Amino acid sequence: MKQIVVLGAGTMGNGIAHTFALHKFNVTLIDTDSARLENAVNTIERNLERQVKKGTIDQSEKEEALSNITSTSVLSEGITNADLIIEAVTEDLEIKSDLFRKIDELCPTHAIIASNTSSISITALASATKRPAQVVGMHFMNPVPIMKLVEVIRGYETSDDTATKIMNLATELDKVPVEVNDYPGFIANRILMPMINESIFALYEGVAGREEIDQVMKLGMAHPMGPLQLADFIGLDVCSAILTVLYDGFGNPKYAPCPLLTKMVTARKLGIKTKEGFYKYD
Ligand SMILES: NC(=O)c1ccc[n+]([C@@H]2O[C@H](COP(=O)([O-])OP(=O)(O)OC[C@H]3O[C@@H](n4cnc5c(N)ncnc54)[C@H](O)[C@@H]3O)[C@@H](O)[C@H]2O)c1
């Protein structure tokens, strides 16, 4: 596998492109929003520079990584000769299914189509294509260049060959792959999101303030980041979308998004990406 397409240049897309490019893959980064695309390339450059300053990579590795990335807002560019397409667009079943249908028509027959979805059914996305055996979940964690885990999700028809290739690829990227089955939220978000939602309920009910809630979880449970700070980091819209998938998928009210979360998403207070969520950012 050499030619990689990353679809979606948001929080996750830029991190995935960064990681592949640093490992000498050719990456085409695609987004319909050219401002997001430009922003993503600037973010990658800044983050690579940070790695140079830390001494984890040298200047020539930074330059090589940047030269491995091409960006475009034209879907067909890059896809027609891709070995692997990783979709990292907005967490929405309709948007993703529509893209999977288009990608399936454009990419070569040998190509694997992976989704970085946090919670949406890989089986549902695979059913939008004519190659369900070559569809898989490749769920990176945020921030991608730093976090070791990749959840590899097998849809109903994902073949052993596809799953093995993606597990091996994750290892090549210096990540640790963990294979899981396709149920709402998989493992990571099935456990993480109820904790974040509960902390928002605690704030909503006035049990404690935001700093106090985060402090309890940082100092008491040795979490590196409090749950409200983490929600801002992930994006409140993403958290709300994942909780909705859990709620609909299991039909269990315990997953219903807290009304405060819904209100903040409606007000576009989405966390770091809009400079305000539970906290404010400059
Ligand atoms: N944010 C996280 O911490 C996190 C962690 C793991 C996985 N994920 C998953 O990764 C995916 C992306 O999340 P994100 O946080 O990067 O979202 P984001 O909102 O930061 O970025 C999404 C990007 O997709 C683009 N997009 C939307 N429709 C498109 C289309 N049809 N074609 C091309 N580009 C399109 C948007 O312009 C935007 O730039 C989601 O499935 C999410 O669940 C997110």
Whole-number mean pLDDT of the chain? Answer: 97
CA of 219 to the centre of ligand 1 (A): 31
Ranges of beta strands (E only) in 11-122 are 26-30, 69-72, 84-87, 112-115
DSSP secondary structure string for all residues of 186-221: TTHHHHHHHHHHHHHHHHHTTSS-HHHHHHHHHHHH
Please indicate whether residue 232, judged by its CB atom, sits closer than 6 Å to ligand 1: no
Please indicate whether residue 95, judged by its CB atom, sits closer than 6 Å to ligand 1: yes
pLDDT score of 78:
86
pLDDT single digits (tens) 204-254: 999 999 999 999 999 999 999 999 999 999 999 999 999 999 999 999 999
* Percent share of the chain, pLDDT over 90: 98
CA nearest neighbour of 141 among 45, 228, 238, 262? 238
CA of 11 to the centre of ligand 1 (A): 7
In the numeric block, which tokens belong to residue 218? 């940082």
pLDDT score of 196:
98
Atom of ligand 1 at shortest range from CA of 90:
22
Cα separation, 66 vs 22, whole angstroms: 8
pTM of the entire structure?
0.93
**CA-only gyration radius of the chain, Å:** 19
pLDDT single digits (tens) 48-75: 999 999 999 999 999 999 999 999 999 8
Please indicate whether residue 185, judged by its CB atom, sits closer than 6 Å to ligand 1: no
Which residues neighbour 18 within 8 Å (Cβ) at sequence distance 6 or greater?
44, 47, 48, 65, 144, 145
pLDDT score of 109:
98
Residue ranges of the chain with pLDDT lower than 50? none
Cα separation, 67 vs 235, whole angstroms: 29
pLDDT score of 250:
96
ipTM: 0.98
